[in-house]
Amino acid sequence: MADLAVDGRIRAVIENVAPAVDCGRFAAKRIVGDRVVVEADCFADGHEALAARLLWRREAETGWRETPMSERGNDCWRGSFLVEAPGRYCYAVTAWVDAFLSWRRDLARREDPTDVQVAARIGATLIAAAAERAAGAERSALAERAQALRQDRPASELKALGLEESLALIAARHPDRRFATTSTALPLVVDIERARCGAWYELFPRSTATEPGRHGTFRDCEARLGHIAAMGFDVLYLPPVHPIGRTYRKGRNNALTATEDDVGSPWAIGTAEGGHNALHPQLGTLIDFRRLVAKAREHGLAIALDIAFQCSPDHPYVTAHPEWFRRRPDGSVQYAENPPKKYQNIYPFDFESADWRGLWGELKDIVHFWIGEGVSIFRVDNPHTKAFGFWEWAIAEIKRAHPETIFLAEAFTRPKVMHRLAKLGFTQSYTYFAWRNTKRELTDYFTELAHGPGRDYFRPNVWPNTPDILTEYLQFGGRPAFMARLVLAGTLAASYGIYGPAFELAERAPREPGSEEYLDSEKYQLRTWELDRADSLAAFIGRVNRARRENPALQSDASLRFVPVDNEQLIAYLKSVPKPENTVLAVVNLDPHHAQSGWVELDLDALGVDARAPYQMHELLTGARYLWSGPRNFVRLDPARAPAHLFVLRRRVRTERDFDYFL
């Protein structure tokens, strides 16, 4: 609110600085190497000229760096800065009514010689003042010009002196900013490249033994790395690797009682042998784990761990920190429940504990512990059932020392809750992709993800399956459904993942009809996977991941645009980046049972394609090359062969010779 205590001579206003997440309450997100474009509406009363600059700095720095902003029309100004390291930044906009620029603009329009002479004297005063703010050669140049403008010369000469471009450049560098307005500073988080793009592969280490019935180990995992890397994955995500509780342990297929040899759910964390900082003894030692991390790195794979902040009744915390759990009237610990269902194998933490500070600190230290062991990617289990304030504090604290850390929020809950988690600091977020199957659903959802209000903070990581999610589409669509969903996941989203062995082998038997749970789920038992089966999708997955690696267009989401096809079962979309120029068109048959065909319609003008000449579409999954011409071209996809095309658009066929070359 304006009042007499603020200097009333501040006349410029700044509105609508963007990006801004919830009015600056949360940070926008960008990636190392990005040019951060900032826009704001800047204007003042009256008709004088305005100047605006973008201020930015790393959060820990004290002084602002500055870069000019320019007007884009309709009082909207734009500037940008390059972020070269991960971490927190902030930015603001400053603007002022610029007397020198106003004077120069008006001088150009003045016609009356007397008027020009008066203006020259006004300008001399302004330029002399700019000289006072300058130093060295610039100071002398300005002082000299001020002098010259005060001399008795013909109007045309004075006008030329005042309008000279080089003078303007110098004077504009030393503006009178006494009455500048500066917006509030807005926060920005810059993450490493992997936060934008990556292919994730999830596996249960205990199911990596090649002999049926033997409990897999980290050493067995090592043996699997080559296979995973060959498919082109970037991240290997392991469900919890900690000791598994015995009390109320679940049996196979989520049975309420376990037999002696049931291995239990890895998410029931903690026994007398240790909790979240310990390793399940049957998997191996900390030495083995470190070795796995190192070997994975050699294969170009980063290990991601699961962070599941909950305890089995046997967890050491239950006795060491009874104050972190809610009590029932009989003094026992309150287990997880969703009445009438009870989950007696799980004790949730009580985030209303009087010792919430102790609890927060301990949980944060768990993440620090694993960072110390070489892990910097964490998939966080059910983050929406822990206090939002905890996550905001913990992620900020951890990323202050380790800005390269990535936190993926496993939340399939209400939209506002998922967005809150993304805003408060989660690097990436699970999505509703698994349940978006039709063309309309996929188009609406991915348009919202790429272009909606979340685009500055919500980074999708899409999964066609997880150990908890075997969708109806996969259950009934057979192998073609897996192929289609893989292409959709891997090309609609720069970050995607699969629950690996089950996906490779198109495992699709549900626990019972109507269930989204896997039959004989690895969550509750050991499995042995016949990875060299002839019908394995490994080679196909490898082709999709290679296309992702070789095409920068597929490595970010901002450019996604859906394209018309005159068949509701065919979906088509483009992604495109300018440097190096790369445009990919995906066409996917959503019907896993029948061949579908249709006409794909491209906006050739927008794509910079000469509509009069043919252009080449290079299909990445088969290597085939097609010649298209004009905006509408025919596509037919038979799910029995391949339910998708991934085309790279090769444009600029300028001469007959170029044209021949492609043939």
Residues that bind its own copies (CB under 8 A): 1-4, 6-11, 13, 15-16, 22-23, 41, 43-47, 74-75, 106-107, 109-112, 115, 118, 121-122, 125, 179, 328-330, 337-340, 342, 351-353, 356-357, 360, 384-390, 392-393, 396, 414-417, 420, 424
Contact 186, 14 (CB under 8 A): no
The answer to whether 404 touches 435, Cβ cutoff 8 Å, is: no
The residue (of 41 and 138) whose beta carbon lies closer to its own copies is 41
Closest CA to 493 of 108, 187, 200: 200
Measured from the CB of residue 99, what is the shortest distance to its own copies in angstroms?
9
3-state secondary structure of 327: strand
Structure tokens at 553: 């267009």
Any residues with CB less than 8 A from the CB of 626 and at least 6 apart, and which?
Answer: 616, 617, 618, 619, 647
- Please, what is the minimum distance in Å from the beta carbon of residue 334 to its own copies? 9
Kindly state the smallest distance separating residue 147's Cβ from its own copies, in Å.
15
CB of 408 to its own copies, least distance (A): 17
Question: Of 39, 98, 262, 381, which residue is the catalytic one?
Answer: 381
Q: Dihedral through CA 103, CA 108, CA 113, CA 119, nearest 10?
A: 10
Burial label, 558 (beta-carbon count in 10 A; 0-12, 13-18, 19+):
exposed
Residue 179 CB, shortest distance to its own copies, in Å, is 7
Distance of closest approach, residue 391 Cβ to its own copies, in angstroms: 8
Nearer to its own copies, 390 or 573 (CB): 390
The minimum distance between CB 361 and its own copies, in angstroms, equals 8
Kind plus residue range of the DSSP H or E element containing 85: none
Task: Give the angle 473-478-484 at the CA atoms, nearest 5°.
Answer: 65
The smaller minimum CB distance to its own copies, of residues 97 and 263, is found at: 97
User: Active site includes 381?
Assistant: yes
User: How far apart are CB 272 and its own copies at their closest, in Å?
Assistant: 27
Whole-angstrom Cα distance, residue 362 to residue 369? 10
* Number of other CB atoms surrounding residue 338 within 10 Å: 7
In angstroms, give the least distance from the CB of 120 to its own copies: 9
Residue count (the chain): 663
The Cα–Cα gap between 308 and 244 comes to 12
Nearer to its own copies by C-beta: 396 or 519? 396
Q: Which two tokens stand for residue 46?
A: 């009256």
Has 410 been annotated as catalytic? yes
Are residues 344 and 335 in contact, defined by beta-carbon separation less than 8 angstroms?
A: yes
Cα(17)–Cα(20) distance, integer angstroms? 7
* Closer residue to its own copies (CB): 119 or 506: 119
Comparing CB distances to its own copies, the nearer of 104 and 508 is 104
- Report which of 146, 164, 162, 142 is spatially closest to residue 154, judged by C-alpha positions: 162
Q: What tokens does 271 get?
A: 């026994």
How many alpha carbons lie under 13 Å from residue 70 in its C-beta half-sphere?
A: 2
Nearer to its own copies, 65 or 342 (CB): 342
> In angstroms, what is the minimal distance from the CB of 363 to its own copies?
11
Nearer to its own copies, 88 or 402 (CB): 88
Q: Helix or strand or coil: residue 605?
A: helix
User: d(Cα 283, Cα 378) in Å, to the nearest integer?
Assistant: 19
Give CA separation, 30 vs 79, 235, 374, 579, 650, in Å.
Answer: 16, 20, 24, 18, 29
Residue 425 half-sphere exposure toward CB, CA atoms < 13 A: 22
**Are 579 and 606 contacting, i.e. CB atoms less than 8 angstroms apart?**
no
Residue 116 in tokens: 């020009």
Which DSSP state fits 532?
A: T
Q: What is the DSSP string of 338-377?
A: ETTEEETT-EE--TT-TTHHHHHHHHHHHHHHHHHTT--E
Of 23 and 137, which CB lies nearer to its own copies in the complex structure? 23
Catalytic residue among 34, 191, 202, 410: 410
Cβ 190 to its own copies shortest distance, Å: 17
Strands (E), 415-559: 428-429, 461-462, 495-499
Q: CA dihedral defined by 496, 501, 506, 511, rounded to 10 degrees?
A: -100
| Nearer to its own copies among residue 181 and residue 265 (C-beta) | 181
User: Is the distance from CB of 202 to CB of 489 less than 8 angstroms?
Assistant: no
Residue among 27 and 279 whose Cβ is closer to its own copies? 27
Cβ–Cβ < 8 Å for 532, 425: no
- Residues belonging to the active site: 381, 410
